[in-house]
Amino acid sequence: MPELPEVERAARILRRAAAGKTLACVSLMHPSLRRKLSPHRLRTLRGAVVTRVLRRGKHQLLELQDGRTIHVHFRMAGDWDIGTATDTLPRHARATLEFENGTRVALVDPRALSTLTLHAAGDSPLPELGPEPSDAAFTPASLAAVLTRRKGPIKPVLLDQRILAGVGNIYASESLWHAHISPRAVAATLTPERLERLIREIRYVLGPAAQLPARYRQARGSGRIAVYGREGEPCRRCSTPIERIVQAGRSTYFCSVCQSS
DNA sequence: CGTATCCTGACC
DNA sequence: GGTCAGGATACG
C-alpha cells in the first residue's frame, strides 16, 4: 500500500496514538522481526516515552525521550491498526506497541516484509535519502545535478530513494505519464524544462488531492490512476492502449504515444 | 547495471 | 501449481 502519501497518513495516525505516551510493552510476533531485535533489547522499551513521531520519505521514526529511536518501514504492505490492549489482535499483526494508557498500536502486514528496529541515541536510523518532493531545495537544477551520472532510464531512477525520498512504483509511472516523459528516457539527457515538468507532476501525484484510498485498485476508474495497472486500456489522453514493460524488475505502465520520448 | 531475496496472499 | 504484488538490499 504505502508510498509517501500513505505513509504520511499512517504517521499522522501513529502520532495521534503514540506521541507523548509511555510504552508499556512492545511485542514482536513474526520471526523476521525477532531476528532483528532481541527480547532483552525489547524489554528496555518498557517505560520509554515517545516524544515525537516523524516521517522521512517512506520511513517512520518514533523518537524516545531517552534519545533512542524506533524505526519502522512498511515496505510493500504494512499499516497501523490502532486499538486497545484488550481488543482481539488483528489478522496479520506482526508487532504491537502497547502504551500505559491502554492504547495498542499493531503493525499489520500480510506479507511480513515490514521492518521495526531500535536505534541507540546518536545512531542515525535512516539510510541515505534524497530530498522530500515538497522540499523547496528540490529543483530542476538540483535534480539535473544528481542525474548527470545516470546513464539508465528515468523510471527506475525515480524509485531510487537516494535521489528523491518517497516515490514508489505506482507514482513513478503516474508522474511520468503526467509529465509526457517516456519511462525509457535516459535520465541524464532530460532537459531542465522537462525536469521542471517532472517535478511539478511528482508533486501533483503525491499531493493530498491525488492521494489514493487504502485499496488502490478501487481508485481505478475514479480518474485518479491514469496508467498504473491499466495495461491494454485506453490512454486517458489519446486512447492508445497502455503498455506494460518491466524495468529493474518492476512493472512500468505508460502510453507509447503520449510518452514517446 | 540486472537478478535474487526476504514473506504471504490473491488470483489465474 | 505458478505468477504476481505498492519496497529495499545484497550480490554478481
The C1' atom of B11 and the CA atom of A176 lie apart, in whole Å, by 28
Residue A214 · residue A6 · CB < 8 Å: yes
pLDDT at A220: 36
A30 CB-to-strand B distance under 7 Å: yes
Annotated catalytic residues of A are 2-3, 58, 250
**What are the pLDDT digits (tens) for A70-112?**
999 999 999 999 999 999 999 999 999 999 999 999 999 999 9
pLDDT at A109: 97
A 207-226, residues with C-beta < 7 Å of strand B: none
pLDDT at A2: 83
| pTM greater than 0.75 | yes
**What are the pLDDT digits (tens) for A25-42?**
999 999 999 999 999 999
**What are the pLDDT digits (tens) for A223-247?**
579 999 999 999 999 999 999 999 9
**What are the pLDDT digits (tens) for A120-144?**
999 999 999 999 999 999 999 999 9
Cα separations in angstroms, A151 against A144, A238, A250: 12, 30, 18
Nucleotide nearest to A173 (CA to C1'): C6
pLDDT at A29: 97
pLDDT at A210: 54
